[in-house]
Chain A
Amino acid sequence: MITPLPIDVPEAPAPAAPGRTARGYWQEASERLRRNRIGVASGLVLLFFVLVAITSPLLAALFTQADPRHIDLLNTFLPPLSPHHILGTDDLGRDELTRMLYGAQVSMGIGFLSVGVALTVGAAVGLVAGYYGGLIDGLLMRFVDMILAVPAIFLFILMSILFKPNTITLALIIASVGWGSIARLVRGEVLSVRTREFMVATRSLGASDAGLILRHLLPNVLHVLIVFGSLYLGQVVLIEAALDFLGLGISPATPSWGNMLTNSETFFFHSSWLVIWPGVTIFVTVLAANLFGNAIRDAFDPRLR
């Protein structure tokens, strides 16, 4: 059925290599990521903590056979490698390993939930502000400026007092500040993408505003979201631990790495492992998240190529 238009098409140059597959931005970026050894290693560390968080009840049942809240006042401050308590016990005789496993749920849960919410809200605000410009842009961005102008810790403290923190509210509290920076970044990227001719060209094909924003702008700013999201994960874990430490986070009955640290500060010289386990774990998680974020940025940010 194909009737070629009668045009002299000069002989096409032979394809560079037979069987050459078209590789897009995403394939090239993920390949660059795979070649980055530190990036892969830190990604695996994060993956490990995620898996621990997901399977913590199962792991606890398999390895410690203990309840994280089970108080055993006859066995307080047992050192690591004690029988049945590989990482020792705390001041109330609770099994430290079990509490660490369950603590991963809080840190990872809040981390990913908070990143997810902040990215979604930030991207939506940034896309709308950047695409429509004018008054909408002005209002939205001044609101962002306002949020970012107040020191974040005060907002966290204020909201932790207003809302009783549990895993979900704490994630939302942290995200309620984080979306501002994302909105700014996305808006900036949209402003530069918006002026490119394909935006007008796509409108000339009959695309609607929503179609343009979701199908054409969003994929063009996705790299910003991926990079910022992975760097932000480390920050969230740290913020969450800090809020727990200040007593503004998760209530001490639910084990989290942050409140385990608070709880044990008074015993530092007496039973240092109670500080070391959560402290080192938070450190490793945040370091892994930052290194992974850097690797992602190296792989995905088109300006670094």
Chain B
Amino acid sequence: MSSPLLEVRDLRTQFTTREGVVKAVDGVSFELHAGETLGIVGESGCGKSVTALSIMRLVPRPGRIVGGQVLFEGRDLAKLSDAQMQEVRGESIAMIFQDPMTSLNPVFRVGWQVSEPLLLHRALPQAKALGEATTMLGRVGIPSPEARARDYPHHFSGGMRQRAMIAMGLTTTPPVLIADEPTTALDVTIQAQILDLLRNANREFGTATILITHNLGVVAGMCERVMVMYAGRIVESGPTVDVFAHPKHPYTWSLLRSIPRLDAERHEPLKPIEGMPPDLSALPAGCAFHPRCPFKIERCSRDVPALNRVGESQLAACWVTQSGVELKDA
């Protein structure tokens, strides 16, 4: 296997607040290979977005990366100067945000904004950059892009703004695109179009994509590999097919049972996960999921399980499955 494009090693990001230290990302490691689509799923507040922002070094104050490495093509992004990091952002790694309504600057024409990465990184003349931006707007499915490039963001619908954001991310054809819940703020039909767009961008430009979502259906349709996060840690990772067919962590298992399925028996009730995600500044001892876990054993409340190989190609951080027990309905 070739060396990974992006490798995150033991990343730790903490927020120091008056109530204590919040470990938003607590020892996350993963690899992203060229052209691959990796999904990161989990409940709200489990550290998905902070992981993405940490890679970009855009963690808002009082957040701080306290440990770990982010290796992009072998260079540790965590050690770059601010000026060097500005070169990486938008040129090597681009990011798409959740809320397309506020992600565009309201006082500038859309075409100009989409051309901004080209102005920042390629030093193209304004007219040429605008031309390329217009071309890109057309490619992401904005009708009559020449006219639309002269529009202001408030003339665009939510879906079109997200298309414009994607165009902005792709103008420099970065090797890595991080999409942080790109469809959460959009309605379902537009969601499907935006996901199609990301899939095609991945195919056409060979852009490796990290897709952050809390929608398991999106992961199933988009991602070759998936990582499940809980309380700032990765609890399970592996090829999407295997993880969905044979979840090896009780959290993944519970998540999958809590979504409606087309092939379910009629009237079969959905099974929510009992309880709430833990307070990140006061994690329970042992496995962070054990208070909500239907399979917990005595050891779970004592030792933190490491992310170890279980089965063919999956990793899971669970004492129960690591001891060879299958997860089944009680």
For B204, list chain A residues within 8 Å (CB): 5
Complex Cα–Cα for A134 and B62 (A): 11
Q: Give A129 Cβ to nearest chain B Cβ, in Å.
A: 15
Q: Are the CB atoms of B138 and A203 closer together than 8 Å?
A: no
Name the interface residues of A136-186: CB closer than 8 Å to any CB of B: none
Do A7 and B200 form a contact, CB below 8 Å, given A2-B135, A25-B152, A206-B90?
A: yes
Question: Given A196, A205, A208, which contacts B102 in the complex, CB threshold below 8 Å?
Answer: A196
What's the nearest-Cβ distance from chain A to residue B114, in Å? 10
> Is there contact, CB below 8 Å, between A205 and B197?
no
A199 to chain B, nearest CB (A): 8
Find out whether the CB atom of A22 lies under 8 angstroms from the CB atom of B108.
no
B201 contact set on A, CB distance < 8 A? 5
**Which residue from A8, A24, A205 sits with its C-beta under 8 Å from B89?**
A205
| Chain B residues closer than 8 Å to A83, beta-carbon distance | none
**B78 in contact (CB, < 8 A):** no
In the complex, are the beta carbons of A208 and B86 less than 8 A apart? yes
Which of B95, B103, B109, B151 is in CB contact (< 8 Å) with A198?
A: B103
Nearest CB to that of B88 among chain A residues? A206
Instruction: Report whether B58 and A204 are in contact in the complex, using a CB–CB cutoff of 8 Å.
Output: yes
A211 contacts which chain B residues (CB < 8 A)? Answer: 120
Contact residues, B138-178 vs A (CB, 8 A): 138-141, 143-144, 147, 150-152, 155, 165, 168
Partner of A12, one of B61, B144, B150, B155: B144
Q: Known interface pairs A206-B87, A206-B88. Does A6 touch B107 (Cβ–Cβ under 8 Å)?
A: no
Assembled-state Cα–Cα distance A46/B117 (Å): 42
Q: How far is the CA of A203 from the CA of B155 in the complex (A)?
A: 23
Given contacts A7-B197, A22-B150, A24-B109, A200 and B139 within 8 Å (CB-CB): no
Q: Known contacts being A207-B116, A216-B105, is A5 close to B99, with CB within 8 Å? A: no
B58, B117, B120, B139: the one within 8 Å of A3 (CB): B139
Q: Does B315 contact A (CB under 8 A)?
A: no
Contacts of A201 in B (CB 8 A): 95, 97, 103-104, 165
Band of interface residues on B: 35 or more
A5–B140 touching, CB < 8 Å:
yes
- CB-CB under 8 A from B86, the residues of chain A are 206-208
> In the complex, which of the residues A202, A204, A219 has the most CB atoms of chain B within 10 Å of its own CB atom?
A204
Q: Is the CB of A5 within 8 A of B107?
A: no
Q: Are A204 and B95 in contact (CB under 8 A)?
A: yes
Contact B99 A197 (CB under 8 A): yes
Q: A22 to chain B: which residues have CB within 8 Å?
A: 109, 147, 150-152, 155
Tell yes or no: A9 within 8 A of B by CB: yes
- A294 proximal to B (CB < 8 A): no
Q: Which residues of A contact B87 (CB under 8 A)?
A: 206
Question: Which residue of the partner chain B has the closest CB to A209?
Answer: B82
Interface residue? A254 (CB, 8 A): no
- Find out whether the CB atom of A205 lies under 8 angstroms from the CB atom of B58: no
194-251 of chain A: CB within 8 A of chain B: 196-198, 200-208, 211, 216, 219-220, 222
Question: Which chain A positions have C-beta within 8 A of B108?
Answer: 219
CB-defined contacts of B144 to chain A, threshold 8 Å:
12, 15
Interface residue? B260 (CB, 8 A):
no
Beta-carbon contact of B102 and A198 below 8 Å = yes
Across-interface contacts of A204 in B (CB, < 8 A): 56, 58, 89-90, 94-95, 97
Structural contact, B105 and A198, CB atoms closer than 8 A:
yes
Q: Which residues of A contact B60 (CB under 8 A)?
A: 200
Q: Which residues of B contact A219 (CB under 8 A)?
A: 105, 107-108
B186–chain A nearest beta-carbon distance, Å = 14
- Let me know if B58 and A200 touch, CB within 8 A: yes
Q: How far is the CB of B10 from chain A (nearest CB, A)?
A: 24
Q: How far apart sit A220 and B152, CA to CA, in the bound complex (Å)?
A: 14
How long is the Cα–Cα vector from A15 to B109 in the complex, in angstroms? Answer: 18
Q: A158 CA to B89 CA in the complex, in Å? A: 51
Q: Does B326 contact A (CB under 8 A)?
A: no
* Contact B88 A9, beta carbon cutoff 8 Å: no
Given A204-B89, A206-B87: A25 in contact with B151 (beta carbons within 8 A)? no
Name the residue among A24, A197, A200, A201 with the largest chain B CB count within 10 angstroms. A201
Q: Nearest residue in A to B157 (C-beta to C-beta)?
A: A13
Shortest CB-to-CB span from B166 to chain A, Å, is 10
Chain B residue numbers with a CB within 8 Å of A205 are 89-90, 94, 116-117, 120, 168
B302 an interface residue at 8 Å Cβ cutoff? no
Interface string of A82-102 (1 = CB under 8 A from B): 000000000000000000000
Within B48-96, the residues touching A (CB, 8 Å) are 53, 56, 58, 60-61, 83, 86-91, 94-95
- Asked whether B196 is an interface residue with its Cβ less than 8 Å from the other chain, the reply is yes
Quick check: is B272 within 8 A (CB to CB) of the other chain? Answer: no
Q: How far is the CA of A9 from the CA of B107 in the complex (A)?
A: 27
Given contacts A6-B200, A200-B58, A222-B107, 8 further A-B contacts (CB under 8 A): A12-B144, A15-B144, A22-B109, A22-B147, A204-B56, A204-B58, A206-B86, A220-B105
- Could you show 27 A-B contacts with beta carbons less than 8 Å apart? A4-B139, A5-B139, A5-B141, A5-B200, A7-B141, A7-B197, A22-B150, A24-B107, A25-B106, A196-B102, A197-B97, A198-B103, A200-B60, A201-B103, A201-B104, A202-B105, A203-B58, A203-B89, A204-B95, A205-B89, A205-B94, A205-B116, A206-B117, A207-B86, A216-B105, A220-B106, A220-B107
Q: Top 10 nearest A-B pairs by Cβ distance?
A: A12-B143, A206-B90, A205-B90, A206-B89, A204-B95, A9-B141, A197-B102, A22-B151, A5-B200, A201-B103
